[in-house]
Chains A and B, each alone.
Chain A
Amino acid sequence: MMKSKADEEDYWNSSKFKAFTFDDEDDEFTKLKESRQAVNSICGLVEEEEDEDEVEKVSWSGEPVGSISWSVRETASSLREQSFPKIDTTPSLPKNSSGYSLSSLFKGKEVLSDSSVRLYAPELRKPKSEYKVTAVSLEKFRSLQEKLLLLDEAVGVHDGNVITAVLIYLKKSLSKEVLFRELESRQTALRHFIHYLTESKEQRLLLELYRALGRTEDEALLQYKEHLRITDENKRRDFLKSCVSLPFSPEDAGHVQDHYTLLERQIIIEATDRQAETGGKVEIFQKFPRRASILNMPLITTLYYCCFYHYAETEGTYSSPANIRQTFRIAEKQYFVTALAARAKLKAWHDVDALFTSRNWLGFTRKKSPLSFSRVADILSKNNAPVQVLQEYVGLVDDVELRVALAQKYKCHFIVISTYRDLKDRQLLLGYRGKVERGSEEERKIDELLSNPQIRWKN
């Protein structure tokens, strides 16, 4: 159900959402600052006596001395001082206590009044339904029919532990073919089995299971997952290459192909740039040393990196942003945001300007952007762009109210002034005069406008 445009406006402008905003820096924030000052002003009194307070130490000084986490760390740090281990020759025979026993239960409150420790001890018990699956009795189930009955029984009691126990027994006592075949029609048991194999890292068996079930996409994903184990980038790249031909879903296949291509490029870029950096000849690497290697970074990080270090390169090189954009079919908006952020970070305002400038067929230039100009201004301001740069984009914001709000926020006084002039709002302009610096160019501009007889003010 879509609401009308008016409704929407109303919704966001209605007072219930105006009550509080996280963007609003003055009102609530000052209140907070005041309270901070009030609290700080009484500091003197408190600090002088701080250490006497033993009682509060327990709950306050982080982990109190004597806490378990604290003690574990203490042991860890004292390990180096350890002397040679004592050699103990007395043999001890640990008793095999219980076989397999299930959850313990407690008696109720009547026990609690008794302080004897033993009464709280777990009482091991084997309810009837679970009796069947203790380690000993499992061996009695020899025929397939009995085994499957046991499995279905386990599934019926909804205890994953019991289900897995039976599955472990079936895994030992049935051939893979038979087990896989029977699991196919038992989804709950199958999911337990898959989870068990995953946890105990029985990769090969799991792959066989997927294959037997015809779940080729899962099989492919599982194989692909192996790349996470490979730390050497060249081996990883080769492994990914071998993954490309696996039976992924068409969409995933695209991602895997991209993953391979990306890593391949990153290896080339990394080698060249590392050399350039250590060589000390390339200015940008000297001015902005790389914080980390580009290997295994996401695509957009790679694009950002290339926009940062290799912006001017021609499309022919692997590291040129244009080439990356084309190879990985990066959307226009995405490319813009990334390039903008990178060039703004470098304070390359000229590049920023060029990014948005387009020429029409008559040769006139104008600013175009796939993302809203308010966003552009936001990104620029976060990169500490000077007012001269900011105002150019703030001025392009279509919505008048938003434009004025942004201009005030970023202190683009001339935008505010000219907007008020366009609105022919003398009162607002007069009011704004009080906000600009006395004797400044802005003030002069306002005065000039206010005394301009040609403007037909609406108030």
Chain B
Amino acid sequence: MAHSARRDSPELPDFSVLKRLARDQLIYLLEQLPGKKDLFIEADLMSPLDRIANVSTLKQHEVDKLYKVEYKPVVSTSDQLCFLIRPRIQTVKWVYVVNADKAAGKFKRYKIIFTPQKFYACETVLEEQGIFGDVSTDEWAFYLLPLDEDIINLELPEFFRDNFLEGDQRWVRTGGSALHLFHSIYGPFSKVYGIGRCSKMVYESWREQVKEGEQKARQAEVGTVFLIDRDVDFVTPLCSQVVYEGLVDDIFRIKCGCVEFGPDVTSSDKSIKVMLNSQDKVFNEIRNEHFSNVFGFLSQKARNLQTAYDKRRGMDIKQMKTFVSEELKGLKQEHRLLSLHIGASESMMKKKTKQDFQELLKTEHSLLEGFEIRECISFIEEHINRQVSYLKRNQFSNNLNSAWPCQSYGVDHLLTFANLKQLGLLVEQQPGETLTVMESKMGKLVNDKTAGKLTDAFSSLAKKSNFRALSRRLSLVPKSDEEYDLRVPRDMAYIFSGAYIPLSCKLIEQVLERDGWTGLEEVTRLLNGHEFAVTADLRPQSDAQRIILVMFLGGCTFSEISALRFLGRERGYKFIVLTTAITNSARLIEAMLDNHV
């Protein structure tokens, strides 16, 4: 199971320094407001904050009480209030407490800390409300949150919608700054490749920032960077995930490296939250595996554990003592982990069996290959009809019109469909067009618990014909007549049961192999261009050269990370993923929703 890595693989740099940096900076900001203060934290920021600090850290710096930022009156009695928020107009409007206090004749000190940066539009809100000046503002440049030894997250899910749907470039500089921070600690980079409009802009922003700052000569730890826009490849994140970590994310939703397993997994009456990362020895061995390999591994582990426990029978006191002090703790930990992941696997298996998952996968795979179109359509039809809530990929022929999903998923989604069209994910078929197929995807969207029904929408791949051509050119779909042994993967296609190599990862592989885009002209043309490859005037170091930072603008999936880990093992690279957020098909579709005020 554990793949033997190439022995010459370079070591990953230590990212804990990023956490320390963020923590120290926060402390500095808190000390700018001396004395006791209450801290109001935006909901989305709590988990990231938990990863780098804890309550005692905050208490040490005179934070008295902690609250969530909400749209309701503030009850704090402290005379210093500090708000830690994302730069969103809506949230700033919630800080209306100031006006209420002023009206009541109370004078307090207020401070808003925006993270990772402030926006002019937010300060305009303060100005318009007449409290600019009463409230001081600051920035906490907390860009990089290491989620694992090879994953760094910006935790900015809104990057995707703002940039690709709304066409708002507010996060471009943020991306550049994040890259700059990384560069100043782990650089200097000697090669930067990229593809996508946003990637290009982020690169430019980063370059400007490097130019303005001073950079001391230093031994590079990471030498190569690859920037990629999410809209270069929408197909991959829309596919159902079948690699363990991806599947856990699809089903239980991993939040900031942490998942909550409910009673059905823990087989008790309580839920527990578990950190999922390389520290978890059991998880670390199965996270990149195709789900079908996980069972065998887990049962082998269970047997080994049984044997290890059984050893204590027939031990004398002294042996027992050694056993307890040396082995028992490890065994107990492993036991707990094992029972948890077995529980999770069972629960996922049950859920997926219930959902016609096998057929869904079959449909997805056919769509990727582009045949059995009629069967696919009928599968999708029936599921739209049945308002099936899980995710799936659709392909519509001209006998289908968009009226239909509306009927099932609720007219409110009219606006959602408008968004999907905007992104080119949904294309209405022109009558008379012969079986040009377009791919689309339906998603679990709004979960209306009362009715127990789910309202969904779907999307399609506008670059319909392009995907086919790209797939052929890059051989994304392996030949079907060859056997694919998922236990011994031979390429990145294993993450989708051997049916499809993720386009995003294939591009990275190709560019690294060719040391640029030469020979890929047709591919970049199909992807609407915006590719670049820049080499710095540095003497490259071979080790740093093989540690590659891949920056996903608009999010990446766990499956893609697994694929890159596989590629790294095969080729002797180490990949570090820097992403604006972890995404999956559900999150991608949710980002398109417009059925709320």
Interface residues, chain A, with chain B CB atoms under 8 Å away: 1-3, 7-8, 10-12, 14-17, 19-23, 25, 28-29, 31-36, 38-42, 45-46, 49, 53, 56, 59-63, 66-72, 75-76, 79, 82, 85-92, 94-98, 100, 102-110, 112, 117-118, 120-122, 125, 127, 129, 133, 135, 157-165, 168, 187-188, 191-192, 194-196, 198-200, 221, 224-225, 228-229, 251-252, 254-256, 258-259, 262, 291-292, 297-301, 328, 330-331, 333-334, 337-338, 341, 371-372, 375, 378-379
Contacts and interface: CB of A to CB of B under 8 A. Distances in A.
Given A59-B279, A62-B271, A68-B50, 7 more contacts: A22-B349, A35-B303, A39-B335, A61-B272, A67-B50, A70-B55, A75-B67
Nearest to A187: B167
Interface string B136-153: 111111000000000000
A14 B498 CA distance: 12
B284 interface: no
A94 B295 contact: no
A130 B47 CA distance: 33
Interface stretch (B114-122, B560-568, B569-577): B114-122
Contacts of A229: 597
Contact of B125 (A90, A121, A200): A200
A45 B385 contact: no
A243 to B, nearest CB: 11
Interface in B434-469: 450-453, 455, 468
B332 interface: yes
B108 interface: yes
Contact of A88 (B88, B107, B170): B107
Most B C-beta atoms less than 10 A away, residue of A15, A16, A70: A16
A191 B167 contact: yes
B537 interface: no
17 contacts: A10-B481, A62-B260, A103-B139, A104-B141, A105-B209, A106-B141, A108-B184, A109-B218, A117-B24, A120-B21, A127-B208, A192-B169, A224-B414, A228-B412, A228-B596, A333-B385, A334-B408
Contacts of B168: 160, 164, 191-192, 195
B291 A20 contact: yes
B136 A118 contact: no
Contacts of A97: 136-138
Contacts of B170: 159-161, 164
Interface stretch (B337-345, B518-526, B528-536, B539-547): B337-345
Given A103-B173, A120-B28, A192-B169, A32 B298 contact: yes
Interface in B236-261: 260
Most B C-beta atoms less than 10 A away, residue of A38, A53, A127: A38
A221 B342 CA distance: 48
A82 B21 contact: no
B418 A31 contact: no
A161 B119 contact: yes
Contacts of B49: 68
A108 B213 CA distance: 10
A12 B481 CA distance: 10
A257 B256 CA distance: 43
Given A3-B371, A42-B306, A91-B107, A258 B205 contact: no
B109 to A, nearest CB: 5
Please tell me the size bucket of the interface on B. Answer: 35 or more
B386 A46 contact: no
Contacts of B141: 103-106, 122
Nearest to B384: A334
A142 B65 CA distance: 48
A175 B67 CA distance: 42
B264 interface: no
A72 B481 contact: no
A188 B24 contact: no
Contacts of A108: 184-185, 187, 215-216, 218
B47 A40 contact: no
Contacts of B65: 75
Contacts of A10: 480-481
Nearest to B202: A158
B162 interface: yes
Contact of A35 (B17, B209, B295): B295
Interface stretch (B3-11, B399-407, B551-559): B399-407
B410 interface: yes
A442 to B, nearest CB: 26
Contacts of B349: 22, 28-29, 32
A28 B295 contact: yes
B96 interface: no
B449 to A, nearest CB: 9
A76 B387 contact: no
Given A76-B68, A94-B134, A109 B208 contact: no
A39 B2 CA distance: 22
B292 A28 contact: yes
Contact of B306 (A38, A103, A196): A38
A341 B381 contact: no
A98 to B, nearest CB: 8
Most A C-beta atoms less than 10 A away, residue of B181, B387, B482: B387
Nearest to B106: A88
Nearest to A171: B124
A89 to B, nearest CB: 8
B480 A14 contact: yes
A140 to B, nearest CB: 17
The 4 closest A-B pairs by CB, nearest first: A160-B170, A20-B292, A160-B169, A191-B167
Nearest to B161: A195
Interface in B1-31: 17, 20-21, 24-25, 27-28, 31
B46 A72 contact: yes
B250 to A, nearest CB: 13
A164 B120 contact: yes
B66 interface: yes
Contact of A300 (B387, B468, B486): B387
Contacts of B269: none
Contact of A122 (B139, B272, B305): B139
Contacts of B498: 16
B411 A259 contact: yes
Most A C-beta atoms less than 10 A away, residue of B68, B170, B187: B170
Contacts of A330: 407
B125 A71 contact: no
A304 to B, nearest CB: 8
Nearest to B140: A122
Interface string B162-196: 10001111111110010011001101000000000
B595 A228 contact: yes
Contacts of A89: 107
